[in-house]
Amino acid sequence: MTDNQALRLIDIYLTISDLYEIELKYFCQRFSNNNKPEFTDIELITIYIFAMTEHERFTKKQIYKFTSDFLRSWFPKLPSYVAFCTRLNNLCSVFQYLTTLLVKIKAPDDCSKSFSLLDSMPIITCSGKRKGKVAKELTDKSFCSTKNMYYYGLKLHLLANQRYNKLPFPESFVITQASENDLNVFKEYWSNIYNRVFWGDKIYCNKQFFNELFLEKNSIMLTPIKEIKGQPESLKYFDKAFNKLFSSAVSKIRQPIESFFNWLIQKTDIQRASKVRSSKGLIFHVFAKISSALFCFNS
């Protein structure tokens, strides 16, 4: 391991240690005789984030093997592989809250407070050709138009602050069943935001709802223009040029959030959850990977 990597490992450890002592420890309190394990939660979280961000080890097995082979002198109390995986899954709530903390403390200064981007992406536990058996209370079957496939799994929804000529920075993450409509998620989680311009895709088209949102919260939603069923051809051609230009402009402004999802997939391989075997494991998979990515977010 190079000196720079060693310094990076120490930096991650110290950051996690500070956050753990202030807040994270309350999400993994133990009330058994093993409430102070020799191999600490801070070490466990540090190993996961370091191996993923610095060495592109995306699975628990790869991370454990890397730690055992190259970091044993740093972490001599490393437990067995089974204990390692079990303890990581039990930290799912810790990583979920850690994501919330990192969204606050890692936010760049150039994040827009007036313009936000919206989108969602699938987290796939298995293809639609099979019957999903993992975390049935969290997942279901849906169709992904981007990949042109049916799948079982989750949907990760993102509200992100726009940044000029840069990747947007997350403001809020929400996970739902794969079949959940994006507009319903917006209504439940983000429709109480005041004085904001939202940029979304056609799924957010609901003229009546967003007219009311503008009157009540002074917030508007801009989306590509959706064709009206049954509209006369003469009217379609009359508005065709404007609709095309407006839709292209909105899509261009929204493109960075798609780039953010591509960056997240490249950094963490978050979209593939086929090796997850439990509800805790699925929640851990999503938020541990998001936390790891936010740690190495370059503003």
pLDDT tens sequence across 68-123: 999 999 999 999 999 999 999 999 999 999 999 999 999 999 999 999 999 999 99
* Cα-based distances in Å from 10 to 17, 46, 74, 112, 215: 10, 9, 10, 32, 51
Output phi, psi for 271, to 5 deg.
Answer: -70, -25
**What integer best gives the mean pLDDT of the chain?**
91
Both tokens of 86, joined, read: 């079990």
- Within-domain flag for 288: no
Q: Are residues 173 and 125 in the same domain?
A: yes
Q: Are residues 25 and 116 in the same domain?
A: no
Number of H helices, E strands in the chain: 9, 6
Cα Rg, the chain, nearest whole Å:
22
Confidence (pLDDT) at 61: 96
Q: Which helix (H) or strand (E) holds 76?
A: none
Q: Does residue 197 share a domain with residue 117?
A: yes
Give the contacts of 115 (CB within 8 A, at least 6 positions apart).
161, 162, 196, 197, 199
Residues 30 and 152 in one domain: no
Tell whether 134 and 36 lie within a shared domain.
no
Query: How far is the C-alpha of 252 from the C-alpha of 262, rounded, in Å?
Result: 16
115 and 263 assigned to the same domain:
yes
The pLDDT > 70 percentage for the chain reads: 93
Q: Tell me: do 133 and 233 sit in the same domain.
A: yes
Number of C-beta neighbours around residue 45 at 10 A? 27
- Beta strand ranges found along 94-232 (DSSP E): 115-127, 140-144, 149-161, 169-177, 197-199, 220-222
Domain of 146: which CATH number? 3.30.420
Task: Report the amino acid identity of residue 20.
Answer: Y
Per-residue confidence at 127, pLDDT binned at 50, 70, 90? confident
Confidence of residue 273 (pLDDT cuts 50, 70, 90): very high
Tokens of 285: 């998979």
- The verdict on residue 22 lying in a domain is yes
How is residue 247 written in tokens?
């839709």
Is 169 found in the same domain as 53?
Answer: no
CB 169 within 8 A of CB 192: no
Claim to verify: residue 59 and residue 152 sit in the same structural domain: no
Q: Report pLDDT for 148.
A: 87
Q: Tens digit of pLDDT for each residue in 138-163? A: 999 999 888 888 999 999 999 999 99
Do 188 and 236 share a structural domain?
Answer: yes
Give the start-end residues of each E strand in the chain: 115-127, 140-144, 149-161, 169-177, 197-199, 220-222
Are 134 and 49 in the same domain?
no
User: Per-residue pLDDT tens for 172-214?
Assistant: 999 999 999 999 999 999 999 999 999 999 999 998 999 999 9
Residue 31 has pLDDT above 60, yes or no: no
Q: What is the mean pLDDT of residues 20-47?
A: 83
Residue 84 lies in a domain: yes
Which amino acid, residue 201?
D
Note the pTM of the prediction, 2 decimals: 0.92
Residues 219-253: tens digit of each pLDDT: 999 999 876 666 666 666 667 777 888 889 999 99
**Strands 140-144 vs 220-222: parallel, antiparallel or unpaired:** unpaired
Which domain, by its residues, includes 129?
A: 111-275
Count how many domains the chain has.
2
